[in-house]
Amino acid sequence: MISRNPAAQNHDRIFTLGFVLVGLATLAQASCLMLVNTSIGLLVVREFGLGPQVVGAVIGIQATCALVARFPVGSWSDRYGSRAFAFGGAAIMVVSCALFMLSMSNRAAIPIGGGVPILLVLASMLSGVALSTFSTAASTYIAYTVPISRRAEAVGYYGVLQGLAQGFGAGVSIVIVDGVGFGALYAIAAVATVVAALLSLGLHE
């Protein structure tokens, strides 16, 4: 039976200020991550002249860091709240974008890494940590703040936002690289993730 009580209907709302903020932050953060992730292979091959095996290694390092980071972040989000880790994940991604830009001018290589720039590896590691930290915190925020009776619906909407952001980021990444270069791409990604960080500060649990 559908409740006609305005207070009950308001209590069951999904699209609260918190949901809108975390949704917009996710759009910005996920777009940034896909801009960066899609460009890594091109950066390694075009900018550094390294082979496809290096592309695989760099992406593998990123994925490993993302996997390892999820274990503590989930527990810490439960204990200390999602807001700090959503902001922290976005802040880490800003540092990652800066390191990607610096890696193109400071090409100091890992001694046993076949010429792989140290800053490129560090940037990839941090982007993996940022991915896990932000996404885990944002998902936890959704789970804790939406009405229990509409939790699956809210998660579905949130998943749509993630998909839109990932599709957009991946779709325009190569266009940006071909048009204005890698430096501009990482600058745009950094601005997007700064927006995500600022939006995350508005979350309340």
Segment 159-183, tens digit of pLDDT: 898 899 988 888 899 999 999 999 9
**Residue 4's pLDDT band (cuts 50, 70, 90):** very low
Encoded amino acid at 196, one letter: A
* CATH at 113: 1.20.1250.20
Residue 174 CA to residue 34 CA, distance in Å, equals 11
- Greater pLDDT, 73 or 205: 73
Give a yes or no: residue 9 inside a domain. Answer: no
Evaluate whether residue 4 is within a structural domain. no
Q: What is the pTM of this model?
A: 0.86
What are the CA-CA distances from residue 59 to residues 19, 20, 65, 71 (Å)? 31, 31, 10, 20
Residues 29, 35, 38: CA angle, nearest 5 degrees = 130
Q: Is residue 194 situated within a structural domain?
A: yes
Q: How far apart are CA 179 and CA 168, in angstroms?
A: 16
CA-based nearest residue to 92, from 117, 70, 124 = 124
Does residue 180 lie within any of the structural domains? yes
Give residue 180's domain range: 17-200
Residue 12 resides in a domain? no
| Number of domain units in the chain | 1
Q: What value does the mean pLDDT of the chain take?
A: 88
